[in-house]
Chains A and B, each alone.
Chain A
Amino acid sequence: MSDSDCIVFAVDDDPLVRDSVADLLDSAGFTVRTFGSAMEFLQSERPDLPACVILDVELPGLSGLDLQAELTKSGVDMPVIFLTGRGDIPMSVRAMKAGAVQFLTKPFRKPELLDALSEALLRDRERRKRRAETAELENRLRTLTPRERQVLALVVTGLLNKQIAGELGTTEETIKVHRGRVMSKMAAGSLAELVRMAEKLKISS
């Protein structure tokens, strides 16, 4: 696998382990950036590319799990692969619940890491794709007038025009016009498509 359009971050306080992991990924064709501590990583500038982070659980100061929480809190939805020298069940459960892609115990084998890495990057790509689609729909949504947004929210609930007119205190004809504009602005080919969009945008009445 050779992904030049993505980047892998590795955080480990043990330079030997850090260098070994980086080199392994390098040899597998990945672009790697390494950090000696969680803080160093948090404060770094990261390129907008599909990426993932390989975290040592037992980092001094802010641990791997703490960093994961910190990233989530700040909306950085990057996939995390944990490495640990001493895996125990409570720790791995906690990590996985928090959305970790994989929890690898040192020493790990190359395929294990690469598999985890592929999945993480795939996930990130999908996440990025999803995030891009949502952003388009939101852009479209922003073109709607407030009245049209009201109509959209009621249309995706399956109400008829007449019912919508009654709800909003206007005529059926007026609703028909609004509905046409919504369909057009949102670039929806069908009502079903519009409903899926509304779902993605978490629009409900």
Chain B
Amino acid sequence: MDGAGADEVKRLQRCINDLVSLFALPAMWSGREPSQIVSTLLDALLRMLQLDLVYVRLKGSGGQAAVEMVRFGPSKEQTAEPHQIGEVFKHWLGGEPRERPPRIQNPTGGRDISVMSLGLGLQGEIGEIAAGSSRADFPRKTERLILGVAANQASIGLQGAGLLSEQKHVTSELDRRVAQRTAELAAANEELHLQVSLLQHIPVAAWTLAPDGKPDFVNQNWLEYTGQSLDYVRSNPEAWMTAIHPEDRETASRSFWGGVRAGQGFTFEARFRRVPDGAWRWHLNRAVVLRDAAGEIVRFVGTSTDIDELKQSQDDLRSADERTRLIVETALDAVVTMNSQGLITSWNRQAETVFGWSPAQAIGRRMADMIIPEQHRTAHELGLSRFLGTGEGPILRRRIEIMAMRRGGAEFPVELEVVPVRLRHDWEFSAFIRDITESRLREQKLRESELNLRQMTETIPEMLWGATPDGSVDYCNTRVLDYTGLSPQEMKGAGWMKMIHPDDAENVARVWKRSVESGEPFYFEFRGLRASDGKHRWCVSRALPLRSAEGDILRWHGTVVDFHDRRQAQEDLRHAQAELAHVNRVMTMGELTASIAHEVNQPLASIIASGDSCTAWLTNEPPNLDKARAAAGRVIQAATQASETVQRLRSLFRKSDSMTTSVDVNGAIEDTVSLVRHEAQRNKVVLRTELEPDIPAVRGDRVQLQQVILNLTVNGIESVARIDHEPRWVVIRSTRSHTGELVVSVGDTGPGIEAEHADRLFAPFFTTKPQGIGMGLPICRSIIEAHGGRLWAAKNEPRGAVFQFVLPAQATSA
């Protein structure tokens, strides 16, 4: 603290002491003569203000004589009589109070003195008081204050002394007004007293301003807080404002100067920089004005209080309150509060919607009457009183479902939570209530559908299973368990492999792993162990992944179907079809016996003849080896030919299930034609082939495809045989369609298909031949369809019929 500050403090403290002393004076003066009053006053002032002189003149009134009195400072000797001093002052005493007291020659000699004078009484009607000091700064503000207070006190005392002689109404009026003024001053003094005493020590920044707004004092707290020095603060009226946040400076400045100019003080909030940590913190800046007895502004005293936390918490509180209010108002739940008497104290909008009562209708009514159905009211009352008595409430602070009552008495289910709130002396209960009529219904439906689903998965006659995304089985329905005889635990993870035939297990595991890794649908046929008879049966399992919206696999759901019987039936059917096809082949061959015999006997004849001739050439004398060799060559050639023929025949007679290979259709046609060539000749039918080279191979059963060609060709020959005119031919063509399919046609110049037979052509047991059984064409069609193709008949040009079939270039096998 610097010297000036210390002096100031001392001065102020002294000032306060002096003021206290002055206020004590009227008590001492009670009942005293005016002269006594004036005397003690002058002594007190001389002591307090260390004056060089102090002079009082009382006007005579009410029968009392005028009084003049003077006191001189201790350093002075009494060198003048009161009336002498009165002479010096008389020119300006009683005039208007001067702003700047005149400096006059010391009536007692020595240095010039500054004089301050004040009127006694409201209008100076009692007299005047003048104080003089040789100090240049006299009178200081505090001295003015003290003088002002002293003058007032003296006026009171003197007034009291003059009561008897005053007229009643004047006296009472004066009393009233004095009392008023006294009160005002007392208040001012009180404030001053407090402010000043606290200024330096209070933990807030405090300051004083000259009436013109220039800071003349700031306390230590301010200096430390802002980092400014007193000199800096005093250097410029607005220097201190550099501590204010730039954004707040303009409004602060406006409030400040507005308050100063109006002489009313001010209150504003602004952010100040806290130097130690550089934080901007909100401060409440408040100044009160101090006036002297004349109403003159003495100074402004103010504080800057750090309200940052308060403001923060106020803001928080405000927003929290607001939020709470909004939440409560817009809550989906009805929010109702009740006091300990069971009366409703608040009722939000939703409560109105739910219960049908407006807040105005509900607040103040008994909760029990408003929303609690009759059967629960007793329990409610008991529960409330029990809680108030014991602090226990079994339904408090948890969500319960209970019936509530609407306006009109209708009951409905609600979800309710009651939270007790401790107020200062009482309890309040907040009830959060939700109408769950709808959700009850939804829940019930959901439960029903869940139950349905569960019942369905457990009762449908299918085996169902589920697995986690990593392929681990975590669910099997009862059908699976019944079928496999395994427990749910045994099926879990990879346990289901136990039901799979050892020969299939590895492949199933591999395919399942691939699906799990790639997310491709799972499909596998395997032999599964049926617990009931301990036999392995053909089963097929399929599974698909369930994916999230993002495409991640959430689960696998799968089925297992025992299709053993169906597969058996399919195999039986296939077998039966093969059998039938074989019979058909044998029968067709039977029809062709003559041609076939020729085909076989031809090379045999050659072999035997050449064998004989070979022998003859060798037994010649000398042997003709060249001719013998040529004959032997023919034997081999013919034997090879015979062997091929037999091979072709044997394959057609063979009774076997289908065998899928890559079939050269042109080759199959040529082999077939070789078997029926003589049949055609015998019937004077020209049999021709027009085969497109480089047609693609097809996948299928060669024997079955040959059978189709054979049947169609024999049919063609037979139909031509029935006519006895030209042309007489059967042509077998192979070509490729524009779509890449293989097309084979067998056309003839026979009588053609009679319109009445067209529909039944491919029907079983339909035949126009005396020896036919009507299975040829149906078998042909089933063979072609099993190869993924089509077989149909059409009119041939210029006459006859044409049978055609198409096969996919990569046909699948039958």
Contacts and interface: CB of A to CB of B under 8 A. Distances in A.
Interface centre among A14, A19, A107, A108 (most CB of B within 10 A): A107
B627 A27 contact: yes
Contacts of A21: 609
A13 B607 CA distance: 16
B605 A17 contact: yes
A15 B161 CA distance: 180
Nearest to A21: B609
Contact of B613 (A23, A58, A84): A23
B731 to A, nearest CB: 17
A16 B603 contact: yes
A113 B613 CA distance: 12
Contacts of A109: 608, 612
Nearest to A63: B681
Interface centre among A16, A58, A60, A63 (most CB of B within 10 A): A16
B609 A24 contact: yes
Interface in A1-40: 14, 16-17, 19-21, 23-24, 26-28
A58 B609 contact: no
Interface centre among B593, B605, B612, B616 (most CB of A within 10 A): B605
Interface in A143-164: none
Nearest to B616: A27
Contact of A86 (B595, B616, B617): B595
Contact of B605 (A27, A60, A63, A85): A85
A45 interface: no
A110 interface: yes
B507 interface: no
Interface string A104-145: 011111100100000000000000000000000000000000
A84 B594 CA distance: 10
B678 interface: yes
B630 A23 contact: yes
B594 A86 contact: yes
Nearest to A23: B613
A200 to B, nearest CB: 40
Contacts of A60: 681
A88 interface: yes
A24 B616 contact: yes
Nearest to B610: A20
B606 A17 contact: yes
Chain B interface SS verdict (over half): helix
Contact of A20 (B601, B605, B620, B624): B605
Given A26-B613, A27-B616, A83 B605 contact: yes
Given A16-B641, A85-B678, A108 B605 contact: yes
Contacts of B564: none
Interface string B608-633: 11101100110010001001001100
Contacts of B627: 23, 26-27
Q: How many residues of A sit at the interface, in one of the four size bands?
A: 20 to 34
A106 B634 contact: no
B786 to A, nearest CB: 34
B598 interface: yes
A155 B348 CA distance: 163
B602 A14 contact: yes
A64 to B, nearest CB: 11
B605 A86 contact: no
Interface centre among B599, B601, B603, B617 (most CB of A within 10 A): B601
Interface residues of B, number: 33
Contacts of B681: 58, 60, 63
Nearest to B600: A85
B320 interface: no
B634 A85 contact: no
Contacts of B634: 16, 19-20, 23
A83 to B, nearest CB: 7
B597 A86 contact: yes
Contacts of A85: 597-602, 605, 678
B324 interface: no
A106 B600 CA distance: 9
Contacts of A108: 605, 608-609
A17 B608 contact: no
A20 to B, nearest CB: 4
Contacts of B616: 24, 27-28, 110
B630 A88 contact: no
Interface string B211-235: 0000000000000000000000000
A14 B637 CA distance: 13
Contacts of B599: 85
B682 interface: yes
A107 B605 contact: yes
Contacts of B156: none
Nearest to A83: B605
A20 B678 contact: no
Contacts of A14: 602, 606
B508 interface: no
Interface centre among A27, A83, A88 (most CB of B within 10 A): A27
B290 interface: no
Contacts of A86: 593-595, 597-598, 601, 678
B749 to A, nearest CB: 17
Nearest to B619: A27
B604 interface: yes
B369 to A, nearest CB: 119
Contacts of A84: 598
B334 interface: no
Contact of B609 (A63, A88, A105, A110): A110
A58 B678 contact: yes
Interface in A52-69: 58, 60, 63
Given A26-B627, A58-B681, A58-B682, A16 B606 contact: yes
A157 B755 CA distance: 71
A34 to B, nearest CB: 13
B142 to A, nearest CB: 157
Contacts of A27: 612-613, 616-617, 620, 624, 627, 631
B638 interface: yes
A27 B682 CA distance: 32
B613 A20 contact: yes
Interface string A76-89: 00000001111010
In the complex, the 6 A-B pairs of residues with the closest C-beta atoms, listed nearest first: A85-B598, A106-B605, A27-B616, A20-B609, A110-B612, A107-B604
Given A16-B638, A24-B609, 4 more contacts: A20-B638, A23-B609, A28-B616, A85-B600
11 contacts: A16-B634, A20-B605, A20-B607, A23-B627, A27-B620, A27-B627, A88-B594, A107-B609, A108-B608, A110-B609, A113-B609
